[in-house]
Amino acid sequence: MTEDPTPSGLLLRQGNPLGGRVAQAEMRASNMGLLLRHLRSQGGRSRAQLASETGLSKATISSLIAALAERGLVREGEPVRDGAVGRPGLTVTLDGTYVAGVGLQINVDYVALTAVTLTGTVVRESVLPVDVAHLGADIVLDRVATMLRRTLASLRESRTDVVGITVSPPGVIDYAAGALRFAPNLGWRNVPLTEALSRRLGADAPPVHLENDAKLAAVAEYDRMARDGIRDLLYLTGDVGVGAGIIAEGRLVRGWSGFSGEVGHLPLDPGLTPCNCGRRGCWETVVGLAAFLRSAVPEGDSLRDPARPIADRLLTLRARADAGDERTLAALAAIAERLATGLGILVDVLNPRMIVLGGYYGYFREYLLPALEAKLEARLIDEGCRTLLATSELGLTASALGGALLSLEHVFDDPTVVAGR
């Protein structure tokens, strides 16, 4: 890649007398992003190595590194010798210590926030119990805005530049309108989340974007799994709602309207239990968190109290399972059986290399994975449909982490969004 004009740049010139300058600026920003992505995937490199591996000239590399260093996105460190003669060069590494993305996850009974720097360090993290499904959108967004304002103020005090906020509700996103089209488990329809939050945060706030919670959790998991060569991944949320984030050949699958991954509404409940979406017999009514709690927790038990932090409730149930509590173990066995039915279908349709079970499933790895592996193995008709199974290590806030990581993609697309320090 070079800084020579591209066909798109030539088209800019035809309609704009400044098109050449615009094309050059866009190409320069693109090449800066290329360097950042290369450093993220390959680690520290000398200037000579960067020139050789990216195809950019040494002069261009030096100019781009200077611009990136001015923005605090790279730094030069240890000397490295590229050949037998000449002075050793300095290793260029990804920096971005003071550049962060923020992810905000809205769920049925809690809100989670995560802020991550360009180097992947989590610098802020919080979870707030909120009865989202019953308070109404305006009250919830007021609380979310307060949470965000405090975090943004704290990051500003540490001289950290927040480049974006990605909000992840559990529902279908209207990307063009920046709205939540439908979230059955929240009871929300056509909520203009981007506009509503931006207005509450004020004109000086970072840009707000939306993405579905399961898709963002898949982004967070893929960020880890790609290092092991995984390119096709299915992430299954384990919450009140059950959704899937699908990564195919390293790309997030949204579908033409953003509806992909709504696997919780597959008709897999023979009891035809009514679902919040308006249908009957949806898969999530028998494998979702609400179904598990109803089965595992007796009436009147404090673990049914939505005001009690969900992580605390799940850890208590895990302790009961470890102690051999028959009710908890029976509930887990039923969840494994019902999960296997749906996962078998998804394996046949999507052919993922790996399935990652998130949400509450991760708390019961030892009780779910062996049963699921055995059931999927029994269905195996060819080695090409074999899949790896894992539980998420990111907990219930995976979507918030994925949102923060996705916010940072704006920097890798165009590093000029970060001002010089």
Say if residue 12's pLDDT is above 50.
Answer: no
Radius of gyration of the chain (CA): 24
Q: Could you tell me the pLDDT band of residue 5, with boundaries at 50, 70 and 90?
A: very low
Domain definitions of the chain by residue range = 7-94, 99-215+400-417, 229-393
pLDDT higher than threshold 50 for residue 80: yes
Question: H or E segment at 246?
Answer: strand 244-248
**pLDDT tens-place string over residues 279-298:** 999 999 999 999 999 999 99
Say if residue 228's pLDDT is above 90. no
What whole-number distance in Å separates Cα of residue 327 and Cα of residue 348?
Answer: 32
Confidence of residue 8 (pLDDT cuts 50, 70, 90): very low
CB neighbour class for 92 (10 Å; exposed up to 12, middle 13-18, buried from 19): buried
The C-alpha atoms of residue 415 and residue 163 are separated, in whole angstroms, by 10
Task: Please report the pLDDT score of residue 241 as a whole number.
Answer: 87
Same fold, 7-94 and 229-393: no
7-94: CATH topology:
Arc Repressor Mutant, subunit A (1.10.10)
CA 304/CA 362 separation, integer angstroms: 19
Checking if the pLDDT of 156 tops 90, the result is yes
Give the pLDDT confidence score for residue 288 in this predicted structure. Answer: 94
- Would the pLDDT of 20 be above 90? no
- pLDDT at residue number 120: 87
Q: Where are the beta strands (DSSP E) in 16-169?
A: 74-80, 89-94, 99-106, 110-117, 122-129, 161-168
Rounded Cα distance, 26 and 39, in Å: 20
Question: How confident is the model at residue 327, as a pLDDT?
Answer: 97
Question: How far apart are alpha carbons 321 and 326 in whole angstroms?
Answer: 8
How far is 282 from 270, CA to CA, in rounded Å?
A: 9
Q: What is the pTM of this model?
A: 0.82
DSSP 373-392: HHHHHHT--SGGG--EEEE-
Q: How many residues does the chain have?
A: 421
Fold classification of 99-215+400-417 (topology level): Nucleotidyltransferase; domain 5 (3.30.420)
pLDDT for 346 equals 96
Range 354-375 average pLDDT: 95
CATH of domain 229-393: 3.30.420.40
**pLDDT, mean over the chain:** 88
DSSP type of residue 282: B
Query: Is the pLDDT confidence value at 212 over 60?
Result: yes
What pLDDT is recorded for position 2? 33
**Mean pLDDT confidence for 80-87:** 53
What average pLDDT does the segment 364-388 reach?
94
* Residue among 317, 343, 345, 341 nearest 331 (CA): 317
pLDDT for res 83? 53
The predicted pLDDT at position 82 comes to 54
Average pLDDT over residues 207-233: 90
Write down the pLDDT at residue 420.
75
Least confident of 63-72, 254-263, 340-349, 400-409: 254-263
Query: What is the pLDDT, as a whole number, of residue 421?
Result: 67
Name the pLDDT band for 277 (thresholds 50, 70, 90). Answer: confident
